[in-house]
């Protein structure tokens, strides 16, 4: 597939371009290619339009510099932002419209020395179902995860880099609770941003500029009698303390946290000055998540991975495995990959692990305990997908840190 914007190809001269139509067409191109984000930014000599597809940025087209301010202006109008403001970051949303593929937009504008950098995130409100069973988790993980979220109290944390499917997994967990309990459960969320509106759930949008911060929202929310609480992200000690407390006092709390590994969330929270014994008693599970691109079925071929990568694997595994990759075709825009699948590791809190946390054992020691207690690691789950020919060894190495062997 030629990635030049459909509209650019259709016009004869750049002078004829109608900016509103151009912007609509860029979004339409992105939506049709199932991109998650559009990046528009001033480089030295051009303004590249890039799309993030299956986690990877790719160039759609390049435009002359004089288009940038007009595109920014148009997107500001669409997202209800201040059009004359060019020196401060702005964020806004635009509702879905048939003019640009029925996707909702979150527009983020950021000043750089060469002009405004624009990132538009696309959400397809029609096409989203939040079902734990369709995320691609292995069945043991789904069952264990469902057991965790159906407990009446405790803190469940999801961990993974941006774009690893955490929001989808967390929304699916909440929808699972609604399916299980119907109108007998009260679920509230505080999020930044609210990405999709879910039925039967009270979702709130944090606004730091108005002082409606995570801690402030959560303190009030505790008086709203919720049974399950979703916190978009734990990123400060105050939010962490409230989340832990809520998990200990009869609420199912689910949230995300950044750390370098699944087991590493304990160290991250200890660094936020949460007492280890509180973590040990409140955290019931941690789910590590990554997304792997899956090999395009139309150009899938056997592959001989490079020897450096093979040295990372046990000899027995190499001998027993037929490796595959995608050679690139029109179906996958010559990338060799089409679609993505989740890969997980679910840490279930156990007595031994809790003792380890209280003793402030190093993350590597906690990992040993988790594996001893039966945790299948991200790497092991990913290797099972390599063995089944779902993804390539190269893709696993790109996404998963090898020290998680
Ligand atoms: Zn292909």
Q: How far is the CA of 318 from the centre of ligand 1 (A)?
A: 25
Q: How far is the CA of 6 from the centre of ligand 1 (A)?
A: 21
| pLDDT number for residue 14 | 79
pTM for the structure as a whole: 0.82
Q: How far is the CA of 23 from the centre of ligand 1 (A)?
A: 29
Identify the CA nearest to 158 among candidates 176, 147, 171.
171
Q: How far is the CA of 332 from the centre of ligand 1 (A)?
A: 4
CA distance 244 to 241: 5
CA distance 201 to 302: 47
Q: How far is the CA of 253 from the centre of ligand 1 (A)?
A: 41
Identify the CA nearest to 163 among candidates 31, 53, 267, 32.
53
Q: Which regions of the chain carry the CATH code 3.30.450.90?
A: 6-123
| pLDDT number for residue 126 | 66
Q: Quick one: which H or E segment has residue 40?
A: strand 37-40
| pLDDT number for residue 2 | 56
Q: How far is the CA of 335 from the centre of ligand 1 (A)?
A: 7
Q: How far is the CA of 323 from the centre of ligand 1 (A)?
A: 16
Q: How far is the CA of 259 from the centre of ligand 1 (A)?
A: 34
Note residues around ion ligand 1 (Cβ under 5 angstroms).
Answer: 296, 298-299, 326, 329, 331-332
Per CATH, the homologous superfamily of domain 132-404 is P-loop containing nucleotide triphosphate hydrolases (3.40.50.300)
Q: Which regions of the chain carry the CATH code 3.40.50.300?
A: 132-404
Q: How far is the CA of 395 from the centre of ligand 1 (A)?
A: 15
Identify the CA nearest to 88 among candidates 116, 114, 66.
116
6-123 domain in CATH 3.30.450.90? yes
Q: How far is the CA of 295 from the centre of ligand 1 (A)?
A: 8
Q: How far is the CA of 301 from the centre of ligand 1 (A)?
A: 10
Estimate to the nearest angstrom the gap between the alpha carbon of 57 and the chain centroid.
Answer: 15
- Where are the extended beta strands (E) located within 217-282? 228-231, 252-256
Identify the CA nearest to 382 among candidates 342, 339, 347.
342
Q: How far is the CA of 305 from the centre of ligand 1 (A)?
A: 18
Q: What is the pLDDT along the chain (405 residues), one digit of tens a residue?
A: 456 788 888 887 778 889 999 999 999 999 999 899 999 999 999 999 999 999 999 999 999 999 999 999 999 999 999 999 999 999 998 988 999 988 999 999 999 999 999 999 998 876 667 999 888 899 999 999 999 999 999 999 999 998 899 999 999 999 999 999 999 999 999 999 888 888 899 999 998 888 999 999 999 999 999 999 999 999 999 999 999 999 999 999 999 999 989 999 999 999 999 999 999 999 999 999 999 999 999 999 999 999 999 998 999 999 999 999 999 999 898 999 998 999 999 999 999 999 999 999 999 999 999 999 999 999 999 999 999 999 999 999 999 976 544
Q: How far is the CA of 177 from the centre of ligand 1 (A)?
A: 38
Q: How far is the CA of 2 from the centre of ligand 1 (A)?
A: 14
- In order of 3, 204, 225, 269, 282, the CA distances from 216 in angstroms are 46, 12, 16, 19, 21
Q: How far is the CA of 267 from the centre of ligand 1 (A)?
A: 42
| pLDDT number for residue 403 | 52
| pLDDT number for residue 1 | 47
| pLDDT number for residue 29 | 94
Q: Which residues on adjacent β-strands are paired with residue 119?
A: 39, 108
């Amino acid at each position: 597939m030629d990635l030049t914007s459909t509209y650019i190809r259709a016009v004869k001269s750049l002078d004829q371009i109608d900016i509103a139509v151009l912007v609509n067409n860029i979004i339409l191109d992105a939506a049709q290619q199932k991109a998650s984000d559009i990046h528009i930014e001033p480089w030295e000599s051009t303004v590249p339009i890039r799309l993030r597809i299956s986690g990877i940025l790719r160039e759609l087209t390049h435009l002359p510099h004089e288009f940038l301010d007009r595109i920014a202006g148009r997107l500001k109008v669409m997202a209800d932002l201040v059009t004359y403001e060019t020196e401060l970051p702005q964020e806004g949303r635009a509702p879905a419209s048939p003019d640009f593929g029925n996707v909702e937009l979150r527009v983020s504008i950021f000043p750089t020395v060469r002009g405004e950098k624009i990132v538009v995130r696309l959400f397809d409100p029609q096409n989203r179902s939040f079902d734990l069973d369709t995320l691609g988790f292995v069945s043991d993980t789904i069952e264990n995860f469902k057991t965790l979220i159906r407990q009446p109290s405790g803190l469940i944390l999801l961990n993974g880099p941006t774009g690893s499917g955490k929001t989808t997994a967390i929304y699916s967990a909440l929808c699972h609770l609604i399916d299980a309990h119907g109108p007998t459960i009260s679920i509230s969320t505080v999020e930044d941003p609210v990405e999709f509106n879910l039925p039967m759930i009270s979702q709130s949008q944090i606004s730091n500029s108005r002082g409606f911060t995570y801690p402030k929202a959560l303190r009030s929310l505790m008086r709203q009698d919720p049974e399950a609480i979703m916190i978009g992200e734990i990123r400060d000690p105050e939010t962490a303390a409230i989340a832990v407390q809520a998990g200990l006092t009869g609420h199912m709390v689910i949230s995300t946290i950044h750390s370098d590994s699944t087991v590493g969330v304990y160290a991250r929270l200890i660094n936020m000055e949460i007492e280890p014994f509180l973590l040990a008693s409140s955290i019931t599970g941690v789910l590590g998540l990554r997304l792997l691109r899956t090999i395009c079925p139309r150009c899938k071929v056997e592959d001989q991975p490079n020897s450096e990568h093979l040295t990372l694997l046990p000899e027995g595994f190499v001998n027993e495995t037929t490796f595959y990759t995608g050679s690139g075709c029109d179906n996958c825009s010559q990338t060799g990959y089409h679609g993505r699948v989740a890969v997980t590791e679910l840490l279930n809190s156990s007595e031994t692990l809790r003792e380890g946390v209280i003793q402030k054992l190093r993350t590597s020691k906690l990992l040993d305990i988790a594996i001893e207690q039966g945790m299948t690691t991200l790497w092991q789950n990913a290797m099972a997908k390599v063995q089944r020919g779902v993804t390539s060894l190269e893709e696993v190495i790109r996404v998963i840190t090898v020290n998680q062997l």
